Each structure stands twice: as C-alpha cells, then as structure tokens.
Amino acid sequence: MRICLIEDDLKLGAALQASLQHAGQDVLWLRRGADARHWLAEECFDAILLDLGLPDESGFALLKHLRGGGSQTPLLIISAREGLEDRIQGLDLGADDYLVKPFVASELMARLRAVVRRVAGPRASGEPEWQVRDIVLNERTRLVTRDGQAVELSKTEFALLHGLLRKPDSVLTRRELEAVVSPPLEGQVLDVHIYNLRRKLGADCIQTVRGVGYVVRQ
C-alpha cells in the first residue's frame, strides 16, 4: 500500500514510518496540515494515517477539508485523545477508524488492512474499468496502464484522464475538464496537466480541438 502518514511528533513519526516500511509499505511522512493538503491534492494514496494535533491546524479541520473535497481515501485517525467525544467527532467527519495512542504496530497494520478492505469492497462492484484503445483506467485500484504497462499519474492527472475516457470521441470543453478536478483548475494549469498526460501516455493519446477543448479518440 501507499500510505500518507500525517504526524508531527518526530520520534513517533520516524518509528511509524520505519515500522510501516519494514512491513513492505510505501510511506510518505508529513508533519504539517498545509503539506498534507498539497500532497493529497496532487497524489493518490491507498490510505491516510492522521494525527489530530498538527502544528498549523486541527486534524479535524484537515479531515473535514478532505471529505468536503470529495476524497474517499481510507483514513485512520491515530491520536492520544481517547475521549468519546473526540472519537465520535472523528468518525462523524468521515474517518474510517480511530486508534488511540499508544498502540502496537501489528494492530495498526491490521486496522489499516481492515479499513482498506471495508472501503474498497463496496466500490468494487460499482466502479468499472474504462478503456480506450490500449489505455485502461481502473477506478477502484486507481491503476492506469498503457499497453499493459503501469503509468503513475498524479491525482489531478488521474481525474482528467478519467473524465476523457468516460466520453471517448466526445470533445470536452476546457471548462468541463477544469470542473472534474476539486478545486477546479484555473488559468493555464489545465494545459500543463494535458502536456504531462501526453508525456506519460504518448503524444497521440489526447487530441486538441482548437478553440474548444480536448478529446480521446477510439
């Protein structure tokens, strides 16, 4: 799994990162809410571990921001706050589980696996694969391949490609494409992401319709 660990405590963060990596996980460790907002807007993760006591904002505020923006990434709160009100608030804001510190690494991994299974399970039957020519996008696993080879995309690139593949041979206007990303893109940022998609998937994967927008042809 690719895990985003948001924990400001240096000692605990380093220990958690080492423990998770030892278990074979790919871990990005962040210490501030602002950094988490940036990375989670640009990259895809299989799970999020969130501490509530961040130096620049409340973990609750970050959680509310993520769920309000449409993120459904499995999220486990890890906190020394053991009060019932904190646990209820975290779950009501959209956390999938709440683990009170201190805890052992084996329990953390077990809860992570359970959360990912529980969240992914119901989606598996309702989220199709989208394929145009040799490009395949799987919504559940968030895996993109071209000619059978995995292609790593940012969260924004994934959303744009998903929008295009859902309507092959239909020209999507710039405004329509900008709106598939949350928050919507502005200015010339869309062109940069289209350029990156072409660089990763091939120059012929997305065609420009001048004065209108972009299209993926069957």
Q: What is the pTM of this model?
A: 0.60
Question: Collapsing DSSP states into helix, strand and coil, what is residue 211?
Answer: coil
The pLDDT tens digits of the residues spanning 134-150 come to: 898 887 778 888 888 88
Contact 73, 116 (CB under 8 A): no
User: Which of the residue ranges 29-43, 125-139, 154-168 would you say has the lowest mean pLDDT?
Assistant: 125-139
Contact 52, 24 (CB under 8 A): no
Question: Collapsing DSSP states into helix, strand and coil, what is residue 121?
Answer: helix
Pinpoint the residues of the chain covered by CATH 1.10.10.10: 129-215
DSSP for 77-108, please give it.
Answer: EEES---HHHHHHHHHTT-SEEEESS--HHHH
Token readout for 135 is: 């490009």
Q: Which amino acid is at 64?
A: K
Radius of gyration over alpha carbons of the chain, in Å? 19
What CATH number does the domain located at 129-215 have?
Answer: 1.10.10.10
Decide if pLDDT at 125 tops 50.
no
Q: How far apart are CA 66 and CA 61, in angstroms?
A: 9
Contact 156, 180 (CB under 8 A): no
Give 181's DSSP letter.
S
What CATH number does the domain located at 2-124 have?
Answer: 3.40.50.2300
The pLDDT tens digits of the residues spanning 152-181 come to: 888 889 989 998 998 888 889 988 898 888
pLDDT at 116: 79
Decide if pLDDT at 12 tops 90.
yes
Decide if pLDDT at 79 tops 90.
yes
- Closest C-alpha among 70, 78, 71 to residue 53: 78
Pinpoint the residues of the chain covered by CATH 3.40.50.2300: 2-124
Residue count (the chain): 218
Instruction: Note the Cα 196 to chain centre separation in Å.
Output: 18
